[in-house]
Amino acid sequence: MTLTIENILLIGSLLLFISIIAGKTSYKFGVPTLVLFLLIGILAGSEGIGGINFNDPATAQFIGIVSLNFILFSGGLDTSWTSIKPVLWQGISLSTIGVLLTAVSLGTFVWAITDFTIYEGLLLGAIVSSTDAAAVFSILRSKSLALKSNIRPTLELESGSNDPMAYVLTIAFLGLVINQDLGITSIIPLFLQQMIFGALAGYLFGRISKYVINKINLDFEGLYPVLVIALMFITFSATDFIGGNGFLAVYLCAVYLGNSELMHKKTILKMFDGLAWLMQIVLFLTLGLLVFPSHIVPVAGIGLLISLFLIFVARPVSVFLSLIFFRMKIRRRFYISWVGLRGAVPIVFATYPLLAGIDKAEMIFNIVFFISLTSVLLQGTTLTLIAKWLHVALPERVKPIAPTDMFLSERVKTAMVEIKIPELGYAVGKKIIDLQFPKTAIIAMIKRGEKFLTPNGATVIEDHDTLIVLSDTQAGIEKVYDCLQIPMLTTKL
């Protein structure tokens, strides 16, 4: 079957529907949903029962880049600075030194056991060197797996921030494969440029995006997520244009926004959570369609050997060496090394050699696909079991609430007060979002004359408004009075 304008929506929507239904039941059998999305794509492909003829690496790469933007941005929005601050340097070490060590050790192993040149081996190692954000975010969250200490924020920070390093190494080693006259030191300027420009652009666009979101006055709440999508793509493309790493910029921009006060933040978070799932499904379906199973079988033996070396040698060694200067129990290091899930990102990166037309491009792509599938099947299905074996899982009764879940649930408040806004008071004429309310307090309702309003960040305070404020603590109520610059004389409810 050939995709046409007439049937692409029907076929796409049917595959999407099947993927969602399959994903709903998959965890009853311990199978990660991402594997099912991939298998559905394979079954629908040219060698499957669907017979859809799709052999376009350029289109798959474009879909992959767009999808990764949404996945990384959503992961960044859901990253709490309070959670990652204690593990910031561990995460950075894993996402840079750890990725480099994985790429070099695996690349050397591939060079030693195959007829690959050293640069081709390093290219393969670079492609599969990063843990996959889509796989880690979706599997950890869908399993509701609670981990001791700071293991979970470490894993999510690593998986969300290590794709840029893998991308730089992939592009650098691909350049060495194409032009072998270049020395290995030629990748250093590229690495520094990509990382420094990417980090600076991410922070800068984060600040700009926050200002735009909070200052622009859109008439419809539903337009705010659309605005954020536009800002996300501007961040990626502008950073890439100046020679920085767009993936790093997008992730850092989202982390900044996720830890800032934004207009209609709950709407934005919910929208991006849904979009991230949509993009994960689309990405895995597309990559499944791109694969020819008959081409995977001949490389299954060597692919399994490389995959086992990656899982049991390269990944653990890179984790232990990159965390050697940090205090952490051995069993926690072992668990971090086990959650080295490879997923869609390596497959997307494997399309770069295909488009470059190097000699072993198809073999590299098929081996990478096999490694990703093996990783998600073996590691993804055993995360809970290994966590219990290593005693790093929290009991069900003490599982913490994720930062975003806590925000979206609007926790029960223990203190409540009515605050009357005086005429010409400090808050009059200001938007709620500009008042810098403490995060532990919310304005549940505003009484304005005979009417009761449900406020949002864009609501402007007027003379004689009565604010009904809820807070976790009495200290939060006191901070509210400070923000409003009103003496604390009102009787609490």
Q: Are residues 286 and 379 in the same domain?
A: yes
Among 372, 403, 434, identify where a domain stops: 403
452 bridge partner residues: 447
Q: Are residues 365 and 473 in the same domain?
A: no
Domain that holds residue 427: 411-484
Please count the structural domains in the chain: 2
Is the pLDDT assigned to residue 334 strictly greater than 80? Answer: yes
Query: What pLDDT, on a 0 to 100 scale, did the predictor assign at position 411?
Result: 45
- Mean pLDDT within 148-165: 82
Tell me whether residue 490 is in a domain: no
Burial of 471 per CB tally in 10 Å (0-12, 13-18, 19+): buried
Q: Are residues 325 and 446 in the same domain?
A: no
Among 403, 437, 468, identify where a domain stops: 403
Q: Are residues 168 and 277 in the same domain?
A: yes
Q: Are strands 415-420 and 451-453 parallel, antiparallel or unpaired?
A: unpaired
Is the pLDDT assigned to residue 407 strictly greater than 80? Answer: no
Is the pLDDT assigned to residue 418 strictly greater than 80? Answer: yes
Q: What is the DSSP-derived secondary structure letter of residue 50?
A: S
Helix segments in 47-186, DSSP class H = 57-77, 81-84, 88-93, 99-113, 118-127, 133-142, 151-161, 163-178
Q: What is the DSSP-derived secondary structure letter of residue 393?
A: B
Tell me whether residue 194 is in a domain: yes
C-alpha span between 359 and 210 (Å, rounded): 46
Q: What is the CATH number of the domain that holds 447?
A: 3.30.70.1450
Locate 161 and state its tokens. Answer: 């921030």
Query: What pLDDT, on a 0 to 100 scale, did the predictor assign at position 135?
Result: 67
Query: Under a CB-based contact definition with an 8 Å cutoff, are residues 484 and 429 in contact?
Result: no
| Percentage of the chain exceeding pLDDT 70 | 88
Is the pLDDT assigned to residue 457 strictly greater than 50? Answer: yes
Among 376, 403, 430, identify where a domain stops: 403
Burial of 391 per CB tally in 10 Å (0-12, 13-18, 19+): exposed
Q: What are 226-237's pLDDT values in tens digits?
A: 999 999 999 999
Q: Are residues 330 and 294 in the same domain?
A: yes
Q: Are residues 326 and 466 in the same domain?
A: no
* Sequence-ordered list of residues with C-beta below 8 angstroms from that of 72, at least 6 positions apart, any chain: 133, 160, 163, 247, 250, 251, 254
Query: What pLDDT, on a 0 to 100 scale, did the predictor assign at position 438?
Result: 79
Name the more confident of 3 and 335.
Answer: 335
Q: Are residues 292 and 340 in the same domain?
A: yes
Query: What pLDDT, on a 0 to 100 scale, did the predictor assign at position 190?
Result: 85
Query: Under a CB-based contact definition with an 8 Å cutoff, are residues 146 and 394 in contact?
Result: yes
Is the pLDDT assigned to residue 420 strictly greater than 70? Answer: yes
Average pLDDT, the chain: 84
Is the pLDDT assigned to residue 102 strictly greater than 90? Answer: yes
Tell me whether residue 223 is in a domain: yes
Least confident of 153-162, 294-303, 434-443: 434-443
Q: What are 246-290's pLDDT values in tens digits?
A: 999 999 999 999 999 888 888 999 999 889 888 888 888 888 888
C-alpha span between 206 and 201 (Å, rounded): 8
Instruction: Look up the pTM and report it.
Output: 0.80
C-alpha span between 136 and 152 (Å, rounded): 10
Q: Are residues 232 and 284 in the same domain?
A: yes
Q: What are 47-82's pLDDT values in tens digits?
A: 888 788 888 899 999 999 999 999 889 989 988 888
Tell me whether residue 1 is in a domain: no
Q: Are residues 322 and 427 in the same domain?
A: no
Locate 196 and state its tokens. Answer: 């420094």
Phi, psi angle pair for 430, to nearest 5°: -105, 145
Query: What pLDDT, on a 0 to 100 scale, did the predictor assign at position 353?
Result: 95
